[in-house]
Amino acid sequence: MKILVGVKRVVDYNVRVRVKPDGSGVTLDGVKMSINPFDEIALEEALRIRERGEASEILAVSVGPEEAQTQLRGALAMGADRAVLIRHETELEPFDVARAILAIARREQVGLAILGKQAIDNDAGQTGAMLAALWDRPQATFTSKLVLKGNTLQAVREVDAGLETIEIDLPAVVTADLRLNEPRYIKMPDIMKAKKKPLDITDLATLGVTPGPKLTVLKTETSPQRTRGILVKDVEELLVELRKRGVVP
């Protein structure tokens, strides 16, 4: 079985994001970029599946600018066998990203697609679900445990009510939650080996995908600063303060 793993280039989670003065977006000049953390978890799970002898090849796929090759090389250093960059210089909506990944999934005849449950830049959490819908295949989102059983897959999902265990047929789409695993550390020899692994570059037109934006970002703003809290002596004083703020009647 061949596994496809989605890899997105995002601002590193340790970076303090700055909004542009004109509100047209966030500043990316000179900012450290990394693999989306949830995508690292997805890749780690694919690697573990291959190490158990349940998969033959792992293909890392990214939709983004030329610079996204750096993140794909990181995925290859972690252990992916091949990588494909679907080059597109401007931001794409999840629907168009899903269409692009679907074209690769069909071309490569993958048996399982694993993506992060969301990207930390837009927190949309839509690409995996849209990929499954377009592919007309089952999906297991927010997965915290994954077990392959022949032509089926058992997944434990983290839902509002607790944990939900489902079983779905392959091919399928899985989106990785935080508690699925802990990604491995990349060693220097693996980084050197990754330079020799195949990384193909294509574009949306070659895949037959014409992007069609459906949303327009009007303005980007920083979150309002939180006001300082106050100390109260007892419940009565707490209620008085809450009534002043209109929180309770």
- Per-residue pLDDT at 218 exceeds 90: no
Q: Which of 130-134, 185-189, 220-224 has the highest mean pLDDT?
A: 130-134
Distances (CA, A) of 153 to 39, 195, 215: 19, 33, 35
- Hey, what are 36's tokens? 């989306």
Residue boundaries of the structural domains of the chain:
2-217
Question: How far is it, in rounded angstroms, from Cα 222 to Cα 248?
Answer: 28
Q: Domain 2-217: which topology? A: Rossmann fold (3.40.50)
Q: What average pLDDT does range 6-13 have in this prediction?
A: 94
In which band, very low, low, confident or very high, does the pLDDT at 227 lie, cut at 50, 70 and 90?
Answer: confident
Report whether pLDDT(42) > 90: yes
182-189 CB contacts, 8 Å cutoff, 24+ apart = 182/44, 183/40, 183/41, 183/43, 183/44, 183/78, 184/44, 184/47, 184/78, 184/79, 186/74, 186/77, 186/78
Q: What is the pTM of this model?
A: 0.86
- Tell me, what amino acid is at 55? A
Q: What pLDDT does residue 101 have?
A: 97
Three-class SS of residue 41? helix
CA 32, CA 29: separation in Å to the nearest integer?
9
166 band by pLDDT with thresholds 50, 70 and 90: very high
pLDDT in tens, 89-121: 888 899 999 999 999 999 999 999 999 999 998
Average pLDDT over residues 22-41: 89
